[in-house]
């Protein structure tokens, strides 16, 4: 995956504090999304207390405003990268798989179209993943904008279910 597009935007050798490595920021954002965390303040909190986030961020603690600015300013560059990561995970059966095996047991099988398909099916999966990635990026940006206005946060899963329900009606 080509990460060079991020490097030029995060060189700050002349003045000010050194910029956070964009690869580290991308890793922690992707991990946060995979765990349903779409709020920059919560991502910041995880970087301070969760050892997985700490390791991915190289023990740096990016501020919520840094995370929010990174996502909102580079959303178009982030979308194809995250889409590719999700496609690789899907190809490796890492997303919601129900695959299991039993030693020495032979079970009848059926060639399911879910696991084999055409290029149009693959294109549909790709477009669905792109829509989900775009939704997650937009949701984080909107949540960051709303944060502080009303003080309450609706559950991520409740918003996600409402979004999925409205998408199926269309």
Per DSSP, helices labelled H in the chain are 4-7, 22-34, 40-49, 51-56, 64-73, 75-91, 119-146, 156-169
Tokens 């990561």 sit at which residue? Answer: 85
Q: What is the pLDDT of residue 67?
A: 92
pTM for this entry: 0.61
Nearest residue to 160 (alpha-carbon basis) of 142, 141, 135: 135
Q: What is the pLDDT of residue 113?
A: 54
Per residue of the chain (170 residues), what is the pLDDT tens digit? 677 777 666 666 666 667 788 888 999 998 998 888 989 999 999 999 999 999 999 898 999 999 998 888 888 888 888 888 888 887 887 776 544 444 445 545 555 555 556 778 878 888 888 888 888 888 888 888 887 554 455 555 455 556 555 555 54
Q: What is the pLDDT of residue 3?
A: 73
Q: What is the pLDDT of residue 108?
A: 55
CA dist., res. 91 & res. 159, Å (int)? 27
């Amino acid at each position: 995956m080509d990460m060079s597009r991020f490097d030029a935007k995060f060189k700050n050798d002349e003045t000010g504090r050194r910029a956070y490595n964009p690869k580290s920021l991308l890793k922690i954002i992707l991990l946060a999304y995979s765990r349903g965390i779409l709020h920059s303040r919560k991502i910041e909190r995880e970087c301070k207390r969760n050892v997985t986030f700490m390791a991915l961020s190289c023990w740096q603690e990016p501020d919520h405003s840094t995370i929010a600015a990174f996502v909102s300013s580079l959303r178009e560059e982030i979308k194809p990268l995250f889409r590719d990561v999700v496609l690789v995970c899907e190809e490796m059966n890492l997303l919601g798989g129900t695959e299991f095996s039993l030693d020495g047991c032979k079970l009848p099988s059926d060639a399911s179209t879910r696991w084999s398909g055409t290029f149009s099916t693959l294109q549909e999966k790709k477009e669905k993943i792109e829509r989900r990635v775009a939704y997650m990026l937009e949701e984080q940006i909107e949540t960051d904008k709303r944060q502080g206005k009303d003080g309450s946060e609706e559950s991520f899963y409740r918003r996600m279910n409402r979004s999925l329900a409205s998408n199926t009606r269309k």
